[in-house]
Amino acid sequence: MQEPDGAVLDSGDARLNVANIKSTIVAGLVALARERGIASESWFAGLRLGPAQFSVEGLPYLSYRQAAQVIRRALRSLPGHGHGLTLGERQDIGSFGLLGLAMLTAPDFDRALRLGVHYAPITGAMVQLALEDVRGGIAVIARTRDSADRELEAFLCEELFVSSLHLCRGLLGPGFRPRCVELAYPAPTYADDYIAAFDCEVAFGCDRNRVLIDAAWLTSPMPAHNPVSAQQVLALCDAQMPGDSATSEIVAIVERLLLSRLADNPRLVDIAADLHMTERTLRRQLQAAQTSFTALHDRIRSESARRLLVESRLGIAQIGLAVGFRDAREFRRAFKRWSGVTPHSLRA
């Protein structure tokens, strides 16, 4: 397994327009606005989205440019500061879904940390991560895609590093603390909040954004190590990793609409009506994107069913209903066709 090479995308890179980022961070900001009685509809101006789509279990995928635009608008409208710290504090190992489970079942913290860096994209991380050996330990390096935008860089680093701290404490216990945190941007007015959040030395104006961890932690065994379970979970993580090829706008939109109505088993005609176009036009646009409505529908149902089988305690029939099957036997047959295994064997 190769770790990310850390290459930072140029601002003109077409990959910034690929809808492959799970909108976990945007969903957290929408929830924060709702709690504080602040309207967030204006954050989504120009997008075929609204706050309601970020309050459901199946979150939509956004491009980096879309997510960054929404976050910038959110930071301008939310009162106060340190919103990345706030979102990070709210997370625990369960918030990381399949990745948290993969790390729990790893043999030791060193392996868990490497899995965390490699599979970070499936959690909605908007920074590029890499590991670097340092004297007496290891460093996790976070590179933002637009270092010129200091406000966005600070928010993303706050959310990433604080949530990761809580993840590590879920793996290692409440006594875990990093050696130090180094940040490339200037100290904000609320710098004391960083020290309280990390419980270690925090330095600003450094060459890079990174967290240093002492080597003594790396050999710590993980609490739920299980080689068989680990391989099953890693296969699910691999399936969720975003690809390098561009997802067209129409594909991303159809995926979002399918996720929002999955239990209703929407048909092509239903999605076309939502988009104010004919079935023929939608079918032609999907063909131009080298896919079909049936292929997208099956993939969304398969991914959703796999996630529910691993992460939830719902029964097989309930999971079938959640992905649009009224008959549990039909769901079991479809799942076997999609994945080659039965729902029961995946959960076993």
pLDDT digits (tens, 9 = 90+) for 83-141: 999 999 999 998 898 999 999 999 999 999 999 999 999 998 999 999 999 999 999 99
- Residue 59 is assigned to a structural domain of this protein: yes
Closest CA to 212 of 252, 254, 168: 168
The reply to whether 61 and 118 lie within a common domain is yes
The reply to whether 280 and 211 lie within a common domain is no
What SS3 state is found at 320? Answer: helix
Asked if residue 151 lies in contact with residue 186, where contact means CB atoms within 8 angstroms, the answer is no
The reply to whether 116 and 256 lie within a common domain is no
Whether 16 shows a pLDDT value over 80: the answer reads no
Higher-pLDDT residue of 347, 213: 213
Count of structural domains within the chain: 2
Asked if residue 322 lies in contact with residue 308, where contact means CB atoms within 8 angstroms, the answer is yes
Q: Any idea what the CATH number is for the domain that residue 98 is in?
A: 3.90.1520
The first and second tokens of residue 258, run together, are 């399918």
C-alpha to C-alpha distances, 257 to 51, 90, 252, 277, nearest whole angstrom: 14, 28, 9, 14
What angle separates helix 293-311 from helix 328-339, to the nearest 10 degrees? 100
The reply to whether 204 and 314 lie within a common domain is no
pLDDT tens digits for range 212-268: 999 999 999 998 998 888 888 888 888 788 764 445 668 878 888 898 889 999 999
- Answer yes or no: pTM beyond 0.75: no
The reply to whether 170 and 38 lie within a common domain is yes
- Residue 174 is assigned to a structural domain of this protein: yes
Asked if residue 104 lies in contact with residue 169, where contact means CB atoms within 8 angstroms, the answer is no
The reply to whether 203 and 273 lie within a common domain is no
The reply to whether 143 and 291 lie within a common domain is no
**Structural domain containing residue 282:** 248-347
C-alpha to C-alpha distances, 117 to 3, 99, 242, 250, nearest whole angstrom: 7, 10, 14, 30
What SS3 state is found at 147? Answer: coil
Whether 11 shows a pLDDT value over 80: the answer reads no
The reply to whether 99 and 42 lie within a common domain is yes
Continuous segment of H or E residues that includes residue 150: helix 150-172
Q: Any idea what the CATH number is for the domain that residue 302 is in?
A: 1.10.10.60
Residue 326 DSSP class: S
Give the dihedral sign, CA 13/17/18/20.
positive
The reply to whether 61 and 157 lie within a common domain is yes
Asked if residue 322 lies in contact with residue 309, where contact means CB atoms within 8 angstroms, the answer is no
The reply to whether 149 and 266 lie within a common domain is no
- Residue 233 is assigned to a structural domain of this protein: no
- Residue 121 is assigned to a structural domain of this protein: yes
Asked if residue 288 lies in contact with residue 299, where contact means CB atoms within 8 angstroms, the answer is no
pLDDT tens digits for range 193-217: 999 999 999 999 999 999 999 999 9
Residue 241 DSSP class: S
Q: What is the pLDDT of residue 5?
A: 34
- For residue 262, give the amino acid letter: L
Among residues 217, 236, 260, the one where a domain terminates is 217
The reply to whether 62 and 173 lie within a common domain is yes
Residue 275 DSSP class: T
Asked if residue 221 lies in contact with residue 112, where contact means CB atoms within 8 angstroms, the answer is no
pLDDT tens digits for range 25-53: 999 999 999 999 999 999 999 887 889 88
pLDDT tens digits for range 174-189: 999 999 999 999 999 9
